[in-house]
Amino acid sequence: MNRLEALHQAGVSIWLDTLSRELLDSGEFARLIADYAVTGATSNPTIFAKAITGSDRYDDQLRAAVDAGLRAPQELFFQLALDDVRGAADRLRPAYDQSGGRDGFVSFECTPDLADDTKATIEQALELWERLARPNVMIKVPATEAGVPAIEELTAGGVNVNVTLLFSVARYEQVIDAYIRGLERRLAAGEPLDSIASVASFFVSRVDAKVDPLLPGDSGLRGRVAIANARLAYARYLDRFSEHPCLADDRWLALREAGARPQRPLWASTGTKSSAYSDVLYVEKLIAPDAVNTMPDATLRAFADHGEVEPALPVAGAAHATLRRASVAGIDLEAVTSELERDGVRSFCDSYRELLSCIRAKVQTLPVGDLAPAHRAAS
């Protein structure tokens, strides 16, 4: 058994935190599924900006769309990226079927310019869901104040939601409540619950990147605050979605009996940003049943080479103690996570604007009208 298969056997779903036409067309994505125990994929505006602007593999499709009269950069982006998501979903469909709909998902994000607009987020998410038309896709919605009611509405409407840009346990509580309310509305309306899947994506390394410079050098806390924060989030997951009737929330028990699935915790931003830490730190320290870890390609391959699988089930008491020490050292974690949420939205917005700008530039340079026969016929 290789290291990644051992990680999978420990209960962790391994998702790839990148997606591109090259990855799909070259067969590399299929190889990662076959040989690296990959059972899912995630994307975001930054990932697609790099994929589309850094490759000529999209040029023929882009030419065909423009030749057919399409000009809006956002719609051109959707046409290109949604094809990639559908392709990835089709390759992951066996994992979805074999897991009974628990795994095998690929995520696509609502455009970040809508992060503070509940109504527009809902409308776009529903459109994307319909266009993707695959049971094993998820629509990513940021865990902003405006995103929380959108999560409820989309869940009630039957959309699989990947809640992204989660940093604080307090916000996570709101997200869980939104998911449960959405499921309750489906149940009251007589709609099935067993087709709904959701993950809550807790960003990890960005917390340490923000906190470490604020800590005294002799605190012994550098590289530990993010893990403690994530472990507390996992403890809340266990509390809210317990399988034991004597421990579980009554509302959740009623939903589970009706076929609902728990909203699984997902560890995002798990590539190590500091060279002082192991390149697999945020994989090894967050091994727990039912968790998902979406890894950049470099982290995936690093773990395949030298990662160790020693189940590190979160101990809430130790995590609380770490965060108390951080508080004594002057860390206001609530303020840090609020800032990270704003920074995350701003960063994705910057990438999205850059992406649209690059698509405009590509359109101006492509020899429109000189299409390959296959693309002309398709258009």
Give the pLDDT confidence score for residue 218 in this predicted structure. Answer: 84
Give the position of tokens 């009706």: 258
Give the pLDDT confidence score for residue 82 in this predicted structure. Answer: 97
Average pLDDT value over all residues in the chain: 93
Q: What are phi and psi of 35, to 5 degrees?
A: -110, -15
* d(C-alpha 47, C-alpha 42), whole Å: 9
Angle CA 271–309–322, to nearest 5: 65
Predicted confidence band of residue 377 (pLDDT cuts 50, 70, 90):
very low
* d(C-alpha 207, C-alpha 215), whole Å: 12
pLDDT in tens, 348-363: 999 999 999 989 988 8
pLDDT in tens, 77-123: 999 999 999 999 999 999 999 999 999 999 999 999 999 999 999 99
Over pLDDT 90: what percentage of the chain? 85
Inform me whether the pLDDT recorded for 266 exceeds 80.
yes
CA dihedral 335, 326, 165, 112 (to 10 degrees): 40
Q: How many CB atoms lie within 10 A of CB 198?
A: 27
Average pLDDT over residues 304-312: 90
Give the pLDDT confidence score for residue 242 in this predicted structure. Answer: 81
The b/e string for 231-243 (b: 16+ C-beta within 10 A; e otherwise) is: bbbbbbbbebbbe
CA dihedral 190, 196, 202, 203 (to 10 degrees): -130
The residues annotated as belonging to the active site are 140
Give the pLDDT confidence score for residue 55 in this predicted structure. Answer: 87
Q: What letter would DSSP give residue 220?
A: S
* d(C-alpha 309, C-alpha 40), whole Å: 20
Give the pLDDT confidence score for residue 376 in this predicted structure. Answer: 35
pLDDT in tens, 285-294: 999 999 999 9
Give the pLDDT confidence score for residue 370 in this predicted structure. Answer: 47
pLDDT in tens, 314-358: 678 899 999 999 999 999 999 999 999 999 999 999 999 999 998
Q: For the chain, what is the radius of gyration of the CA atoms?
A: 21
Give the pLDDT confidence score for residue 362 in this predicted structure. Answer: 86
- Name the amino acid, one letter, at 45: P
The DSSP-derived string for 257-315 is HTT----EEEEE--S---TTS-TTHHHHTT--TT-EEEE-HHHHHHHHHH---------
* d(C-alpha 71, C-alpha 69), whole Å: 6
Predicted confidence band of residue 367 (pLDDT cuts 50, 70, 90):
confident
The b/e string for 299-330 (b: 16+ C-beta within 10 A; e otherwise) is: bbebbbeebebeeeebeeeebeebbebbeebe
What is the topology classification, in CATH, of domain 3-378? TIM Barrel (3.20.20)
The DSSP-derived string for 194-216 is TT--EEEEEE-HHHHHHHGGGS-
Inform me whether the pLDDT recorded for 260 exceeds 70.
yes
Question: And the tokens for 289?
Answer: 């049943």
Inform me whether the pLDDT recorded for 375 exceeds 50.
no
Q: How many CB atoms lie within 10 A of CB 170?
A: 12
Give the pLDDT confidence score for residue 46 in this predicted structure. Answer: 86
